[in-house]
Chains A and B, each alone.
Chain A
């Protein structure tokens, strides 16, 4: 999927630029993209080290196990393939917590950590596991309590009440998260059915 999307964006972009005579802009964009990619990973490097280090202390102190125990019921239901005291559980719980509080920059390294942990219990090295899919779609549906960036931008634009949209955000992000979970289960059902029919043909 990503292979096609990546290819399509680049082909469409360059093709359209050739038609409209914007190839000069595209040339600049190509060169700056290498720079931006490196800049972004250097920005992430420090925070990745920091959160991985802090997470290691939490893991060794048994905090992750306690945290997971608290939310065990819900998470055990959603992620039946992940052992309850596995590092993946804790990393996922912390990622959701960081997203929930609008700490997007902290959530990315935590999420990558969670993916690495999930990969350890994935028996197909090049294919996403069920738990990975659900983890990512919940993240990508952005269950959020405090959208820090948006409030700051509204304040900057001179809003009379910058936080007035918070209840709207809560409703809307809950709807998208619930949709993500429903379609995850629908997808699993569809996939199972398809495999099943192939098996019998």
Chain B
């Protein structure tokens, strides 16, 4: 397991050093090239600012109103019937919408149920194997101004569902 943490710690420095060495070796004026790219980055950041404000507006209103709690209450009988621990319902709803909110929720729930309990393990696997779908789709398409996203949201939601269902099954089958 030490190998894993070394791998994740070393990844960013390793990528940067490899790019710089190969660039310098091939006679690229590295700092000039860096500045040229960084200016493009600045333009992109300014372009996505309004998108982020818009996304935050919708997420914050939805959370603050308590509408999320209602959806959880309505879904509880369904998940009980399917044999899914009902503790994971808020996460299943919040996860595709907001990354920071679902991380906060995971932290709270792991302390409540214990990280090594069935619910704690399912929640961990769910967080690790699914993404903030709405955020990803909105930011990526928003950055380039594409409005007709065709089937993207549906395909991503179906894949996210598959990830969530398999999180439950895998945690129940594997110790």
Contacts and interface: CB of A to CB of B under 8 A. Distances in A.
A93 B143 CA distance: 19
A78 interface: no
B80 interface: no
Contact of A140 (B11, B41, B137, B148): B137
A9 interface: yes
Contacts of B63: 13, 29
B74 interface: no
30 contacts: A12-B67, A15-B65, A17-B66, A29-B63, A34-B53, A34-B57, A44-B48, A44-B52, A45-B45, A52-B40, A53-B34, A57-B37, A61-B22, A61-B26, A63-B23, A101-B7, A103-B12, A116-B44, A125-B145, A127-B147, A132-B140, A137-B156, A140-B136, A141-B131, A150-B106, A153-B124, A154-B124, A157-B114, A164-B121, A187-B155
Contacts of B145: 125-126
B70 to A, nearest CB: 7
Given A115-B140, A171-B170, A142 B131 contact: yes
Given A165-B125, A176-B163, A177-B159, A48 B65 contact: no
B54 A133 contact: no
Contact of B129 (A20, A144, A159): A144
Interface of B: 1, 4, 7-8, 11-12, 15-16, 18-20, 22-23, 25-26, 28, 30, 33-42, 44-46, 48-50, 52-67, 70, 99, 103, 106-107, 110-111, 114-116, 120-121, 124-131, 133-134, 136-141, 143-156, 158-160, 162-163, 166-167, 170-171, 174
